[in-house]
Structure 1
């Protein structure tokens, strides 16, 4: 993989006159530039590094300051007069170039173009490097300035910061370290996507929180990531406080996900395993697809980012493609993470009609990234309408597997009833004479045949409303009455659900465990009730 130093050395040897590096990490950028400029093996002719900032003016390689070069135009004039091999780094020029909505200074723009021409044809190698936290440049400079990507810190760099902080703070016994080698790797990976300064802040906060650095501090590092994700405006950092055990049923899907926990770690890579790409979960509405996305992020201890496709297509005409690239860049910077696309068919269904091909181009860039991504971004896409799914999305290589979530089996319904009723009975005002035993759960599961998980939850809520109206504990009759008064989706949308099952029969894997499927068939629901291949994991 080509590093920043490799790219910079090529550009310096090619005598590219003006470069632009977008980064908040000025110190890291200057350190990398200095390392390359002083390395004769990389640039043939070593060069001195001059640094200009609005506060210090133009500082020579020996640390002396060039008088009269405090203003941008004066600094560019001084850089233009240099007659020795040099790399001139300008840290604070972006305000004069129109960043932040300000008008660009015509004199500064003109001097930059003059300097680019002079450096390009001069007798000695000289290069000007603009370093700024924003990408804005005036259109007049588009052909004179070459953009250079500066990557965020690698895991090795972040691990070095972590180990240095551990060594500095354990020497005096100020903190206790309760991390094995894998725990340190998880903590360092959790900080990927942060600058070194942000990572150092996150580790420091974790250390002072309770005086112990352990695996639980990954959550504090994720909190630092939340700020970076929020700044992007395209992704939402979702709190994932739901355990996989809180998802009723879907044992086949849960086993598949549990086996892939930690596949982004070095141990799995050394075993020859790639990081998992993701899953597409389709099926009947209200049966736990979105809840599963939240649960897997919590189970794996990874941040959950939600991509709102509507935000990608919002804004100025022509900005959708850039928005998608920015969203992907933000997700990769936060890797390892879980990227959740809810109801993906509403964002990418329907092709490119009516919008001059914008939808098609955005969808195409997303598919290309899905196929070729190398960062540990696990994509969970959920869909209710299989007819709206483009065929390109369903072919192998995009997702590791496609799961179909059907209406819950009898065993799954009993599990869902237990989850929702027992959770409410923890409240003293709700608890009373009601005993949640096997007999009650079996009765409720039998009576709620054809109900989705969401409908069962609403039945529990409806029963609680009745109980609360009379200011008494919850009773069995409340639950039965709520069931009788509800018309489930399997009745109102029977034809639609049948069509969904038929589609999934040979195109998706059943999220329900085979033993639950067989038990439901023996109970009288009939074989073949569930769509999807009954594969065991």
Structure 2
């Protein structure tokens, strides 16, 4: 989406204070300059480095070198026949001074009658309380697929450099979520390396960009469902929900996975991406926390906007009950966790991008009830301690991975999780022990947290879907026939 239409509407409605949130200032100014030229609106641009300049980049008033003078010059730009715009680049840096704040407030207030529009261009929104009701915020969105393809076409101009068909789609998938400049750089690097546009280079740069930004991380493994034992019902559900079987009329939202630790929640998230051909974006809520007022909420919005731009994708939020700790007032953080949680819930309910969200939790009871209500997720699944068939599949999988002889007897694995079977096989391979000897070093979570696991299983019974078999999860004890009181279970002697 371009800036042209939302800016045109607000200028024509005489919104005299506009804040544009953008990381690509040159592109935003170019779009606005085109709009102003078409509408015959005077336009000037100011920054601390070059001062006040016209839309054609020629210097204007030399006395507007400081931020206060830049704001005050807006009244001189007024035109009785048309709206006049003044763009202030990165002006959020100067909104700590009382004089500047007062000048901005006066300029916006008087702009309603003079038709002078003050536009602040910055990568984030940081408005002092005196100005919060005076500005409308517009997002300069990341380029969509059509814009990315146009950038690719402008970059790859020689014969053989531009792929087509499915290869081009994979290149655009890899570029989704990059800014215009980042995409252009990535395309250029791919041409230098391979002589044509290839997705591997773009994925490499995007992984580095996300890691450096600190908001998201990208997982692109080769694991598939075949390398994950059990969870047949969950696998089947997600294949139907987001598999590559053609266009879907009903968009999928995601799933919430609840289980004791070590039952394969995180491993499932990572294999889901490779299974469905989607990148897995890992959202670490703790990394969104900032030290400045409003920074955490702003970083949360940036992360969600990046997810929307990178769709189709899988979004993984691990141990979500810890990620949003303090939502219900348990932590004295000034309400930051509650606001971040509210922003996430709103996005989860309303987003229209093809982002499939997988949240994992070890105890969903620590989250407020609105998190797991209907329509937040397509399903809430409980991953129980693996049964005999699941454990047999997991043992076979990890025996093969660590080259352990099939003739080796297995240790007693009652109430073991998949993680404990993996740990046993890994120790046996590392220490050159038998599986039975390696098992002596394993303390199952069912032994250390037995009461908590049993309580969780009781809570999930009747409330969650089963990840292993179709339908609602039922605690194994509830399947046992109940003896009537007063009736002996011993056979009669008669």
TM-score tier, shorter chain, comes to 0.7 to 0.9
Distance 1:456 1:502 in 2: 24
Partner of 2:307: 331
Q: Alpha carbons of 1:323 and 1:93: their partners in 2 closer, same or farther (altered >3 Å)?
A: closer
Q: 2:137 aligns with which of 139, 144, 147?
A: 147
* 2:113 corresponds to 1:121: yes
**What is the alpha-carbon distance in structure 2 between the residues aligned to residue 299 and residue 382 of structure 1?**
19
Which residue of 281, 284, 292 maps to 2:257? 281
Which of the numbers 317, 337, 342 marks the counterpart of 1:341? 317
Q: Deviations over 1:333-353 (max 9, x none)?
A: 443332222222334467624
2:257 matched to 1:299?
no
Q: Can you list the C-alpha shifts for 1:150-173, whole angstroms capped at 9, x where unaligned? A: 22222221222223334x13x2x4
User: Quick one: structure 1 residues 419 and 490, their matched pair in 2 at CA, closer, same or farther if it must change by over 3 Å?
Assistant: same
Secondary structure of the residue aligned to 2:402 is helix
> In 2 relative to 1, CA 460–92 (structure 1 residues): closer, same or farther, beyond 3 Å?
same
Matched, 1:272 2:249: yes
User: Is the 1:241–1:294 Cα contact (8 Å) retained in structure 2?
Assistant: no
1:483 counterpart = 2:439 = yes
**Count of residues in correspondence between the two structures:** 471
Indicate how the Cα distance of structure 1 residues 69 and 336 shifts in structure 2: closer, same or farther if over 3 A, else same.
Answer: farther
Matched, 1:397 2:397: no
List alignment gaps of at least 5 residues for structure 1. Answer: 41-45, 426-433, 468-473, 518-524, 530-537
TM-score for both structures, normalised by structure 1: 0.74
**One of 442, 448, 463 as aligned partner of 2:428:** 463
Rate the CA distance shift 1:62–1:157 in 2: closer, same or farther, 3 A.
closer
In the superposition, relative to structure 1, how do residues 487 and 244 fare at CA in structure 2: closer, same or farther (>3 Å)? same
Map 1:164-203 to 2 at 5 A.
Answer: 164-166=154-156, 168-169=157-158, 171=159, 173=160, 175=161, 177=163, 179-180=164-165, 182-203=166-187
Whether contact under 8 Å (2:420, 2:444) holds in the other structure is: yes
Q: Hey, what's the Cα distance between the residues in 2 that align with 1:112 and 1:351? A: 36
Per the TM alignment, residue 194 of structure 1 is displaced from its structure 2 partner at its CA by 1.9
Shift of 1:142: 4.3
> What is the aligned partner in structure 2 of residue 372 from structure 1?
350
Q: Does 1:97 align with 2:94?
A: yes
Quick one: distance in 2 between partners of 1:346 and 1:64? 54
Asked if the contact 2:321/2:361 (under 8 Å) is kept, the reply is yes
Instruction: Output the CA distance in 2 between the equivalents of 1:251 and 1:150.
Output: 43
CA distance in 1, matches of 2:116, 2:228: 62
Match of 1:451 among 416, 424, 428: 416
Query: Is this contact kept in 2: 1:96–1:105, CA < 8 A?
Result: no
Deviation at 1:111, TM superposition (A): 5.0
Structure 2: which 5+ residue stretches go unaligned?
481-494
- Mapping of residues 242-253 of structure 1, within 5 Å: 242-253=223-234
Deviations 1:114-148 (A, max 9, x none): 544553333xx432323233434555544554433
- Does the Cα contact within 8 Å between 2:171 and 2:197 map onto a contact in 1? no
Q: Secondary structure at the match of 1:294?
A: helix
TM-score by length of 2: 0.80
User: Does the 8 Å contact 1:69/1:78 carry over to 2?
Assistant: no
Deviations 1:356-406 (A, max 9, x none): 793555444433322212122221111222543443233221111222222
TM alignment of 1:416-431, pairs within 5 A = 416-425=394-403
Counterparts in 2 of 1:218-257, with a 5 A limit?
Answer: 219-230=200-211, 232-238=213-219, 240=221, 242-257=223-238
Secondary structure of the residue aligned to 1:279 is strand
Determine the C-alpha separation between the residues in 2 that align with 1:491 and 1:128.
65
1-structure distance, mates of 2:201, 2:373: 38
2:78–2:84 Cα contact (<8 Å) kept: no
The C-alpha deviation readout for 1:56-102, integer Å capped at 9, x for no partner, is 5544456654363562456555543235335344354627615xxxx
Q: Does 1:132 align with 2:122?
A: yes
Provide the alpha-carbon RMSD of the alignment: 3.8
Residues 18, 117 of structure 2: 8 Å contact kept: yes
User: Within the alignment, does 1:68 sit opposite 2:65 as a pair?
Assistant: no
1:211 to 173, 195, 198: 195
Distance 1:317 1:104, change over 3 A: closer
Cα shift at 1:288: 1.0
> Aligned to 2:385, which of 397, 407, 424?
407
Contact 1:402 1:508 in 2 (8 A): yes
User: Is 1:48 the equivalent of 2:25?
Assistant: no
